Structure 1
Amino acid sequence: MLASFKKYVGQIRLDFWTVVKIVVIAILALFLIYPFSSLIYRSFFNAEVQGFTLQNYKDFFTLPYYYNTLKNSLYVCVVTTVITICLGVPLAYVMTRYNIYGKKLINIFIIMSLMSPPFIGAYSWIMLFGRSGFITQLVEEIGITMPPIYGKLGIIMVFVMKLFPYIYLYVSGAMSSIDRSLEEAAENLGASKWRRLRTITLPVVLPSIAAGAIPVYLLTLVAILPQIVVIVTSFINTNGPIFVKGFGLESYKNIWYRLSSNITNTYLFATVAIVIIIIMGMLISYIAVRQKGKVGVAMDLLIMFPYVIPGAVLGIGLLTAFNNPPLLLTGTPFIMIAAYVVRKLPYTVRSGSAFLQQVDPSIEEASINLGVSPRRTFFKITARMMLPGICSGAILSWIACINELSSSIMLYTGKTSTISVAIYTEVVRNSFGTGAALASILTMTTVVSLLIFMKLSKGKVSII
């Protein structure tokens, strides 16, 4: 048997792409499979019960405190999904079928609501509709009492504004690809607008509506105006937790002296993560598209797994896995960077794959036939052709990294705190001015990054 094993090992060709596959799978196993496996394993142990037990699961399904959270989550999830479909589909139809003034700017704001942390949106809605919110006080002056934003209503509102871009982007892409001649032919045959929409447009985009609804459902289960509110608020003068009359730059001066390390950490961690994401994204995209097989399919599925898993769950998994020697990463920048890479890699992989599918493989085949090695062909020809797609995806990953909150808040320490974590802690401390200033920095960085993305991608790469 040992001889057969040695013979099998001897038959394995350790060429460049075999080594890449082994390294990538090892990285995914260490920072993705191992943390989640550790998390699941720990769930079967309880401090009050000796040995392997289902006590934690029993508590969850028998104690009202726990199972009511599941009921509330499912309710919010279903309602949010329905409302996002009702909002996203008509908006996508109007934006793709009519010449709307400022369409590009509207698209940027819609995408911004998707890429920015939900916490910023929640904070903005409280500033508008909270107990002392601007609109709440405004309508109270004319005798109208606003319903409270706190509770399920507020959660649904924030989630809808955060997640309807999924539906919008999916359906917009599907509608843009519809052959206009079909609709024109139906119109020439006397079909009304409603009948054309019902018999031609909707059947074509229905799969995309469902595809957009699934991520909304999953992301809601776990987690244009808000940006404007945040930016304006950041310039209002404050006296402790209270806003006072007048505008100024006091909040920005305050964060420069108190929270400059958070800003440095955010851009430093995101930059290191992006370098790793670009290298891994380029290699994984090539394997998934050009070297289709069981390994490529498995790798592609693993890469997309963190896309629909809550960041908080990933953070807890990493803490569980790397909280003890020999690989003690808890409390270090490395665990933050690892979380960013694992969680944001899908953007770059999807973008690189989309570009590579448009590249004729005969170019690479011609290079190899001329005697150039596959490795050199990849770096000299293929990688250069993939670069626009990889850079576009990297920009999206960059935006997602600097805005990441759910995993960061589980993993940070005083020395590794980021802007998104600082926004949360500042608002909890009632330092609303500094929180708004930090959020404005993220907002402006996101806008600039999206403009660069649109310039590089030229509409060839989808946001999702």
Structure 2
Amino acid sequence: MNRFLPWGLASLISLAFLAVFIAYPIAGVLMRSFVGDNGFSAAGFVTFLTKARYLEAFGNSIILGGAVTLTSTIVGVFLAFVVARYEVPFGSIVFLLPLSVLIIPELISAQSWIMVLGNNGFVTHLFKTMGLPFPKFYGWFGLIYVMTLTFYVHVFLAALAALRGFDHSLEEAGQSLGTAPLSTYLKVVFPTVMPAVLSSGLIVFTLAFGNFAISINLGQSVPLLSVLTYRSFVSETGGSPVMQSTLATVSILLVASVLFMQKRYLSKKEYQMFAGRTPPRVKLRGWKSALASGAAGLLIVLSLLPALVVLVGSFTLSSGPVMHWGQFTFENYYRIWNGDLDVIWNSLKFSSLATTFGVCFATLVSYLLVKKPSSTTALLDYLLLLPLTVSGTVLGIALSQGFNSGPLVLTGTSALMVCAMMLRRLPFGVRNASSNLHNISNSLEEASVSLGVPPIKTFFKVMLPLMAPGIAAAAILTWVTTVAELSTVVVLYQAGQETLPIQIFRLISSDLMGRASAFGVINIIIIIVPIVLGIKAMNVKLFAS
């Protein structure tokens, strides 16, 4: 019994929590997709396979995921190669790119580009005044363009880490044998970094395939599975859940298959470098320098531009969907102050609770996985992967359906909103919380216990202080992602539970871009403050893991 307490019990409690709030809702979605009026039925899948709009949405989602993966890979690898191999003027600010993904939520990124290139956008209006036609931004172009600028950072980070870890002596050996530099890159360098690029590329595919915020705002003429699933849920609330469950199941199966292929491929493609020598950075000159620096610099500007556009838009006079650029006002902020402060309070309250509970749970689970492995923790590790196989919309639907009846009714409550926000990013919280656990020697804990200190007290007195950097990073990342969460909570919230992303989404849908921009600025400020405090005051390394 002593060997079971306390960590065996902690593992069982953690396992029970994940089983109830992750496995049970997702299993419920899968089961309801096979249930008809008279018991077992495949009517939902028959409808899916025979209705053109469902097949079109499914095909479009795959095409979109593939296109965004391709463009993100090209852009990310190019920028990583330029930064890793050449001296560029803006090399010192490249670290802002991963932060831009956190600082600028997907919804605000879509909003900002609509304000620039949409039907009433600044550039669109400028072209109209000049009497020149401007191509329609909504549809395939807008979707691929905005998603590429949003997701290429994932490929960039992975490719940059792989290129910096590449042993330059291998490249020199190839060239010393008479191989041309381009051929050496293609035959030696890129096959070595390909596993990292493919891994991040498949992550981009799943993000683009299940994306909701950008898709519903820019994909007006392109039916997509994530949007169709959301609209199916909204229209069928109170009715049969078969079709919404079927659409969610299709999404789950596709993403799970992609993750399985990723794991299988990477298990066969593993390269290791021993005592590698980092390739030197070369200073380009002439047209090559202008081309590389200009293209890479443009990418950085476009990545960070949405924050500036939203800031300017929040102080711009607007009449419905029309933005009067150049006419500044504080009206958008006055309206928030006089009637919408509850939205800000909801975001702060829900995100604070989700971050607190999420970080505490992630800290415990990461400790169990790394320091107290067992058959129970192996199952725990598996359940933690489930949120990665579902999009935010599907997770929200699963939770709504799973807890709308029975012994635990939570649908429509703030508690389920907080739980959803916590679960959505839990795998990443566990990853960051455990980032430095592998470097902590077991002998420290064993010495404390051998001196008579109880295991729990040892955990709090010895292990927690050593885990502090990883826990701080997990807390910051959990906070900024829950503050920006839309796809999960948009299917769960009731009147009075609106958060900043939900309010921004509603305002964009009503073409009230000025007010949406003001809320967007507030959202960005709430996101950026803990990042600055964590990096400057606490020296937190957000992407160390």
Aligned to 1:174: 162
Match of residue 369, structure 2, among 282, 288, 296: 288
1:174-323 equivalent positions in 2, closer than 5 A: 174-179=162-167, 193-195=181-183, 197-223=185-211, 224-244=304-324, 245-323=326-404
> Secondary structure of the equivalent of 2:453?
coil
**How do residues 5-44 of structure 1 correspond to structure 2 at under 5 angstroms?**
13-44=3-34
Provide closer, same or farther for how the CA distance between residues 233 and 303 of structure 1 changes in structure 2, counting only shifts above 3 A: same
Matched, 1:88 2:168: no
Native 8 Å contact 1:83 1:160 kept in 2: yes
Q: Secondary structure at the match of 1:357?
A: helix
Q: Do the aligned partners of 1:113 and 1:161 also contact (CA within 8 Å) in 2?
A: no
The question of whether the paired residues in 1 share the 8 Å contact of 2:473 and 2:540 is answered with: no
CA contact (8 A) 1:108 1:450 kept: no
What is the DSSP-based 3-state SS (H/G/I as helix, E as strand, rest coil) of the residue aligned with 1:246? strand
The Cα offsets for residues 203-260 of structure 1, whole Å up to 9 and x where unpaired, read as 3321100110111111111112222211111110223443335212211111122211
Q: Name the counterpart of 1:396.
A: 477
Q: Which moved more, 1:293-302 or 1:218-227?
A: 293-302
Task: Render the CA deviation track for 1:290-312: whole Å, top value 9, x for unaligned.
Answer: 12333223222322321342111
| CA contact 2:102–2:481 (8 Å) conserved in 1 | no
In the aligned structure 1, how far is the partner of 2:111 from the partner of 2:47?
33
In structure 1, how many angstroms separate the alpha carbons of the residues matched to 2:346 and 2:336? Answer: 14
**CA 1:463 to 1:83, structure 2 compared with 1: closer, same or farther past 3 Å?**
farther
Range with greater deviation from structure 2 (237-246 or 277-286) = 237-246
Number of matched residues?
A: 452
Aligned partner of 2:148 in structure 1 is 160
Task: Tell me how far apart the structure 2 counterparts of residues 37 and 183 of structure 1 sit (CA, whole Å).
Answer: 50
Instruction: Give distance in 2, aligned partners of 1:264 and 1:222.
Output: 29
Change (3 A) 1:146 1:462: same
- CA distance in 2 between counterparts of 1:126 and 1:275 reads 35
Cα 1:39–1:433 shift into 2, 3 Å: same
Cα distance change on mapping 1:218 and 1:190 into 2, 3 Å: same
Residue 335 of structure 1 corresponds to: 416
Kept in 2: contact 1:281–1:349 (CA 8 A):
yes
Question: Among 528, 531, 538, which residue is 1:450 paired with?
Answer: 531
CA gap of 1:247–1:41, structure 2 versus 1, over 3 A, is same
CA distance in 1, matches of 2:154, 2:537: 22
Residue 163 of structure 1: CA displacement? 1.1
Report if aligned partners of 1:278, 1:348 keep a CA contact under 8 Å in 2. Answer: yes
Instruction: Determine the C-alpha separation between the residues in 1 that align with 2:93 and 2:523.
Output: 18
Match of 1:354 in 2: 435
Change (3 A) 1:270 1:99: farther
AA aligned to 2:83 is M
- Give TM-score, length-normalised by structure 2: 0.77
Q: Which of residues 127, 137, 145 in structure 2 aligns to 1:149?
A: 137
The separation in 2 between residues aligned to 1:457 and 1:28, in whole angstroms, is 31
Measured in 2, the distance between the counterparts of 1:201 and 1:461 equals 28
Name the stretch that deviates more: 441-450 or 220-229: 441-450
Partner of 1:433: 514
Give the AA of the match of 1:237. L
Partner Cα distance (1:463, 1:78) in 2: 29
Residue 396 of structure 1 contacts residue 463 of structure 1 at CA under 8 Å; is this kept in 2? Answer: no
AA partner of residue 41 (structure 1): M
Note the C-alpha offset of 1:126.
Answer: 1.7
- Report the equivalent of 1:79: 67
SS in 2 for 1:426: helix
Task: Decide whether the 8 Å contact of 2:484 with 2:523 is kept in 1.
Answer: yes
Query: How far apart, in 2, do the equivalents of 1:455 and 1:200 lie?
Result: 39
Does residue 129 (structure 1) correspond to residue 117 (structure 2)? The answer is yes
SS in 1 for 2:123: helix
Partner Cα distance (2:341, 2:41) in 1: 46
- CA deviation map 1:333-362 (0-9, x unaligned): 100110011111122210122211122222
Q: Select between 169-178 and 420-429 the one with higher mean Cα deviation.
A: 169-178
Verify: 1:118 aligned to 2:198, yes or no.
no
Q: SS state of the match for residue 354, structure 1? A: coil
Please tell me the residue identity of whatever aligns with 1:341. Answer: M
- With over 3 angstroms needed to count, the CA separation of the structure-2 counterparts of 1:253 and 1:415, relative to structure 1, is same
Question: What is the distance in 2 between the residues matched to 1:308 and 1:457?
Answer: 33
Q: How big is the shift at 1:159? A: 1.5
Q: Which runs of 5+ in 2 are unaligned?
A: 212-303
- Tell which deviates more after alignment, 373-382 or 264-273: 373-382
* CA distance in structure 2 between the partners assigned to 1:384 and 1:294 by the alignment: 27
Deviation (angstroms), 1:428: 1.6
Residue 3 (structure 1) aligns with: none
Q: In the alignment, is the contact (CA less than 8 A) between 1:96 and 1:172 conserved in 2?
A: yes
Q: Distance in 2 between matches of 1:12 and 1:45?
A: 46
Match for 1:270: what amino acid? S
Partner amino acid for 1:111? Answer: L
Cα deviation digits, residues 177-204 of structure 1 (max 9, x gap): 3345655777788876535533543233
RMSD (Å) for aligned C-alpha atoms: 2.5
- The whole-number CA distance in structure 1 between the counterparts of 2:394 and 2:60 is 19
In structure 2, what is the Cα distance between the partners aligned to 1:101 and 1:445?
31
SS at match of 1:146: coil
- How far residue 141 of structure 1 moved from its aligned partner, in angstroms, is 4.9
Distance 1:369 1:221, change over 3 A: same
Which digits, 9 at most, give the CA deviation of each residue in 1:376-401, with x for residues without a partner?
22211111100111111110111100
1:175 counterpart letter in structure 2? L
In the superposition, relative to structure 1, how do residues 380 and 152 fare at CA in structure 2: closer, same or farther (>3 Å)? Answer: same
Q: TM-score, normalised by structure 1?
A: 0.90
